[in-house]
């Protein structure tokens, strides 16, 4: 494919720009663009991604306020360099790691994932990141470990929401070890060929696409291996509404609203709601992790 007329990037919307750029890369090779060619992942969806503006302008990040536009307005004050991550618990190589050392050598891929918030809205997000399993292999998980716990930074001077008692800080999340080792589970370092915006969880955040968005703990400063199911922020806050597993499940409603459908951000006023898919559409990959478990009890 060749272009007869030069494309003017300003003529197209970001979503079209994204698709055109992919076609160009395929046709002409990476030499045309300065963007490093990232490995294509078999785990990516073909759904058209949301725009960068949507993904970085409509966020949940209570450290910066509870409004969807608060994180974009307030998160630029967070200093993400230098960044230290504490690795502790049942690991062979515990320590306080400079982020660069901790993730050195882990292959970064693009993963275009569906994202489903527990509040029944969704997006398609082109993350860049590495498989959490690679990091866990590096730090040496001991045989006794059964869970991974994560904590977000506590720095009220730069995270104004932490001066308010909205949640108990630090924000905490956790995964069972088999969930953490699953190839779909990534730590994101960027999106849309850019470093992760602060409001999306810079410098590193968890992404588990078959689970509700609140599992995706942002600005991670601690990774602990344990043999006990870790406490998680939303479960501590309202155990009857937010369980440990948080698997996307249209058959199990939230006590205050249905989970059967979702609103795709950016789809327009008249687009209508979409049916929510069990495990957010990733059932072929992850359903076997929960064989024999009652998912209405283990929500």
What count of other Cβ atoms lies within 10 Å of the Cβ of residue 238?
Answer: 11
Q: Is 290 in the site for Mo ion (CB under 5 A)?
A: no
Among Mo ion, ligand MTE, none, partner that 190 touches (CB below 5 to 8 angstroms by kind):
none
Of 87 and 123, nearer to ligand MTE (C-beta) is 123
Query: Does residue 128 belong to the site contacting Mo ion (CB under 5 A)?
Result: no
Least distance CB 83 / ligand MTE (angstroms): 14
- Strand runs labelled E in 100-166: 109-116, 121-131, 147-152
- Per-residue string for binding with Mo ion, 213-232, x by CB under 5 A? xx------------------
The whole-angstrom separation of Cα 78 and Cα 199 is 9
Beta strand 121-131 with 186-191 is antiparallel
Beta strands, E only, 73-120: 84-89, 95-98, 109-116
List 51, 122, 152, 280, residue binding ligand MTE (CB under 6 A): 152
210 near ligand MTE (CB under 6 A): no
Q: What is the CA radius of gyration of the chain?
A: 19
Listed in sequence order, the residues at least 6 apart from 65 whose beta carbon sits closer than 8 Å to its beta carbon are 71, 73, 74, 160, 161
Q: Site for ligand MTE (CB under 6 A): which residue of 18, 52, 61, 245? A: 61
- Binding mask 214-253 toward ligand MTE (x if CB under 6 A, else -) reads x-xxxx----------------------------------
Quick note: the x/- pattern for ligand MTE over 161-190, rule CB under 6 A, is ----------x-------------------
Strand, coil or helix: what is 79? coil
Bridge-based pairing state of the strands 261-264 and 121-131: parallel
Candidates 212-220, 224-232, 265-273, 289-297 — which segment interacts with ligand MTE by CB under 6 A? 212-220
Between CA 18 and CA 284 the distance in angstroms is: 28
Q: Is 200 in the site for ligand MTE (CB under 6 A)?
A: yes
Question: What residues line the site for Mo ion (CB under 5 A)?
Answer: 60, 117-118, 213-214
């Amino acid at each position: 494919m060749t272009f007869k007329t030069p494309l003017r990037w300003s003529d197209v919307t970001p979503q079209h720009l994204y698709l055109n750029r992919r076609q160009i890369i395929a046709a002409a090779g990476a030499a045309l663009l300065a963007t490093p060619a990232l490995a294509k992942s078999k785990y990516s969806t073909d759904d058209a991604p949301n725009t960068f503006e949507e993904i970085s302008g409509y966020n949940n990040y209570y450290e910066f306020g509870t409004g969807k536009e608060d994180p974009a307005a307030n998160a630029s004050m967070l200093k993400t360099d230098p960044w230290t991550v504490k690795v502790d618990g049942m690991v062979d190589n515990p320590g306080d790691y400079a982020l660069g050392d901790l993730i050195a050598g882990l292959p970064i891929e693009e993963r275009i994932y569906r994202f489903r918030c527990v509040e029944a809205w969704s997006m398609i997000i082109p993350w860049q990141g590495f498989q959490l399993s690679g990091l866990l292999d590096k730090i040496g998980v001991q045989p006794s470990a059964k869970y991974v716990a994560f904590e977000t930074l506590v720095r009220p001077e730069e995270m104004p929401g932490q001066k308010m008692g909205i949640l108990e800080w630090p924000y905490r999340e956790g995964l069972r070890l088999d969930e953490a080792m699953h190839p779909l589970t990534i730590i994101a370092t960027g999106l849309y060929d850019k470093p992760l915006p602060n409001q999306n969880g810079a410098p590193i955040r968890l992404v588990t696409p078959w689970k509700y968005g609140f599992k995706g703990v942002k600005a991670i400063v601690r990774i602990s291996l344990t043999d006990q199911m870790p406490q998680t922020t939303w479960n501590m806050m309202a155990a009857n509404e937010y369980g440990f597993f948080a698997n996307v499940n249209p058959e199990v409603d939230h006590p205050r609203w249905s989970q059967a459908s979702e609103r795709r951000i950016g789809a327009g006023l008249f687009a209508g709601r979409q049916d929510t898919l069990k495990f957010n559409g990733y059932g072929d990959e992850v359903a076997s992790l929960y064989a024999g478990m009652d998912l209405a009890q283990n929500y």
